[in-house]
Structure 1
Amino acid sequence: MAVITLVERIDALLPQTQCGQCGHAGCRPYAEALAAGRDPINRCPPGGEDGVRALAQLLDLPALPFEPDRPQPKPRALAVIREDSCIGCTLCIQACPVDAIVGAAKQMHTVIADECTGCELCLAPCPVDCIDLVPVDRPDDGSREQVMARAALARKRHDARQARKTRDAADKARRLAERAAVPAPAPSAGTAAAPSAPSAAVDKNELIRKAMERAKQQAPVAATASSDKMAVIRAAMERAAAMRAAQQDTDEDQQ
């Protein structure tokens, strides 16, 4: 029989919006902080005052009001994308903790209303500000029963998203490892002249050196700033010509 830990019991009372308003990266980290006694129970605005009372009862603590200088409870709102303004950047999709936004790169995105938790995490990354929050017009939307019903679904979707991200990371690591393990291809018959590459490189360097010497000799000793600039340009042209000639010689040798 599985033993339910205190962290799991606390997490079961949280709304699973993963919004971060409590100061943690999600509901589970906040539950861990509560179980360890590191945080107070009044830092979950989506859970509301009912959530504070539920946590107080579980942990045998007095119910606390929300701190005035921290986020306050408010009616839930759903994210809605103005589709005619969406540029398909996918940043909102990456930010959504429950995969409630669908779309593809450079294609219009849309929010699945029934899956949206109202966490607001999609607002900040949107580069064109095309996401609005529309209040939910239902009198019982903030009731404890509704909050817990949504939490159960949101937890499943969040867990599924985290599992998918873990699989994707493992697959990427495996592909990189397989690619690194592939031996370098053996030289083909067409690359038999490869041993002469060092001598070709030496010849190219010698051509560049001679070109630079010629450029120095051509630059007047008492040149003005303008003539110095022209000398530099001539030297650069000489070097470029020499490098092109050397590359042509190398290509001909390899052929």
Structure 2
Amino acid sequence: MIAAMLILLMLGIALGGGLGVSSRLLKVETSSVVAELEEILPGTNCGQCGYPGCSAAAQALSEGTVPANFCPPGGRSVAREVAARLGIDLDVSAVADKGPVIAFVMEDLCIGCTKCLKRCPTDAIVGASRQMHGVVDDACTGCEVCASICPTGAIVLRPEAATLQTWYWPKPVAPLAA
């Protein structure tokens, strides 16, 4: 019994050490620009830009095959940061910036088809087959994938409710000159 445990322990140490050494020797080097661009992007891997994830989109950005304003969930702020990082001029007036939104499931329209569950990149939708679904607000990034796939239109995107961290004082309106 003790001999078997010692053999497994030595095997584990040897294989673990081998994996550690091989991860150092066979490490794939990525460009620092790609890593920085990936940090700027939202990281939801929603696919709205046409790429399977934010890492592939960051690679395409570094190669110059997509414009800096290609990320719909990122909006103007991400487009500005990407343009600043790449050192290019960008007109952000054409970029839609609707602010943060969260998906909401209308109970009377949801049929429980689970199409939205399967497509949500952040697993923010909870529910089961033939049951009403719900959305975990903290996990939802507002990528709109679930709303576009819903066959009954039960999912709508609503503006994120203001909290103490997101609330801002609106600018005062100038009085009309008499």
Q: Provide TM-score, normalisation by structure 2.
A: 0.67
Of 37, 46, 49 in structure 1, the residue corresponding to residue 64 of structure 2 is 37
Of 117, 120, 124 in structure 1, the residue corresponding to residue 141 of structure 2 is 117
Question: 1:225 matched to which residue of 2?
Answer: none
**Runs of 4+ with deviation above 4 angstroms:** 1-4, 139-143
**Residue 45 of structure 2 is aligned to residue 18 of structure 1:** yes
Secondary structure of 1:133 counterpart: strand
- Structure 2 residue runs without a partner (length 5+): 1-23, 169-178
Of 118, 137, 152 in structure 2, the residue corresponding to residue 94 of structure 1 is 118
- Structure 1 residue runs without a partner (length 5+): 144-255
Paired with 2:97 and 2:52, the residues of 1 have a C-alpha distance of: 18
How far apart are residue 79 of structure 1 and its match?
A: 0.4
Deviations 1:51-95 (A, max 9, x none): 223223322x22312474xx6221121001112322111000011
**Residue 111 of structure 2 is aligned to residue 64 of structure 1:** no
Aligned identity (percent) is: 43
Paired with 1:14 and 1:55, the residues of 2 have a C-alpha distance of: 8
What amino acid maps onto 1:104 in structure 2?
Answer: A
Between Structure 1 and Structure 2, whose CA radius of gyration is higher?
1
Of 54, 61, 77 in structure 2, the residue corresponding to residue 27 of structure 1 is 54
Q: Provide TM-score, normalisation by structure 1.
A: 0.48
What amino acid maps onto 2:156 in structure 1?
Answer: D
Question: 1:175 matched to which residue of 2?
Answer: none
Larger fraction in helix:
1
Question: 1:233 matched to which residue of 2?
Answer: none
Paired with 2:73 and 2:167, the residues of 1 have a C-alpha distance of: 9
Paired with 1:108 and 1:85, the residues of 2 have a C-alpha distance of: 9
Paired with 1:50 and 1:92, the residues of 2 have a C-alpha distance of: 27
1:136-155 matches, cutoff 5 A: 136-138=160-162, 141=166
- C-alpha contact 2:76 2:96 (8 A) present in aligned 1: no
How far apart are residue 113 of structure 1 and its match?
A: 0.6
Kindly tell me: are residues 125 and 46 of structure 1, through their superposed partners in 2, closer, same or farther at Cα, counting changes over 3 Å?
closer
Give aligned pairs, total.
140
